[in-house]
Amino acid sequence: MILSFATSSQSGLALWSLLGFSGAAALGYAVTVLKAHASAPQPLVLQHALLLAWLAHAAALLIDIAGIGLVDPGARFGFAPALSMTLWLVLGVYMVESRLLPLPGVKRVLSALGLVVVVLACIFPGESRPQAGSPWAPLHWVLGLASYGLFGVAVLHAALLNMAERQMRLKKAPAAGAMGLPLLRLERLTFQFVAAGVCMLSLAIALGWWFTPHWRWDHKNLLSMLGWLVLSSLLAGRQVFGWRGRRATRWLYLGAGLLLLAYVGSRFVLEVLLQRPLN
């Protein structure tokens, strides 16, 4: 329900814990956005604001998606928690990768997006699902979310790759890509994340096909299959025809966009525009 800030069936302690962790995460992301390019020495807490926000975000996701404190035990999910979980995964990969590779320009953008999705997940928490349609459904959801996160990271790297290529065309960065990262390494990382995402998505679709008792060719499943075909074709095109550069990133953006529409888009229409219960 719009502006519900959690369902009425959730206990007071769980509700206040959810709001507390969400507020802490939003505050940490906001501080990171404001202090991302500060040159003056900062207190230790501000230096680790992104990590603290990410941990608080994880706690909020656990309470919200796991349905902790609900009267009827079960999972609670929707388009905003899916976006929130996806960006949380992307941020986790970024924090690990940023210790190994120079990616300072990404911090502010991801923190701003983190702030947005945390607020969205509070406003649109989704609906409770007391019982899964299949015992394999939780694994299906986990694999699907993991693929969303991996494709999100791939899109991030593709955007950096496009930026680096524009810099090279303008002769601003002849020897390296965005933020000093070599182009070939950035391209290789992009396709490694795409390949991992396709593997996760393939497993998620296979589980949905074989173990979900009521498989239907609805908008979600059709768009998911189209996204899988586009991204699999991208990997095949790179392997057979050597696709790279803008052609490859356009295929990646198209496939990721189809997947975003598959779950997040369809659930947004159902939850917000039509305000129908989840199937």
Instruction: Enumerate the β-bridge partners of residue 75.
Output: 129
The domain total for the chain is 1
In a domain, 25, yes or no: no
Local confidence pLDDT in tens for the 279 residues of the chain: 333 444 445 567 777 888 899 999 999 999 999 886 665 556 666 678 999 999 999 999 988 877 676 666 666 778 888 899 999 999 999 999 888 776 767 888 999 999 999 999 988 887 776 555 566 677 788 889 899 999 999 999 999 888 878 877 776 554 455 455 677 888 999 999 999 999 999 999 988 887 766 667 778 889 999 999 999 999 999 999 999 888 999 999 999 999 999 888 877 776 776 666 555
Q: What is the CATH number for 235?
A: 1.20.120
- Kindly give, in sequence order, each residue whose CB lies less than 8 Å from that of residue 92, ignoring residues fewer than 6 positions away: 54, 149
Q: Which tokens belong to 238?
A: 């790179």
In a domain, 145, yes or no: yes
In a domain, 217, yes or no: yes
Q: Which tokens belong to 163?
A: 């930026």
In a domain, 188, yes or no: yes
Q: Which domain holds residue 249?
A: 132-273
Please state the pTM of the whole predicted model. Answer: 0.83
> Residue 213 half-sphere exposure, CB side, CA atoms within 13 Å?
5
In a domain, 178, yes or no: yes
In a domain, 172, yes or no: yes
In a domain, 73, yes or no: no
In a domain, 33, yes or no: no
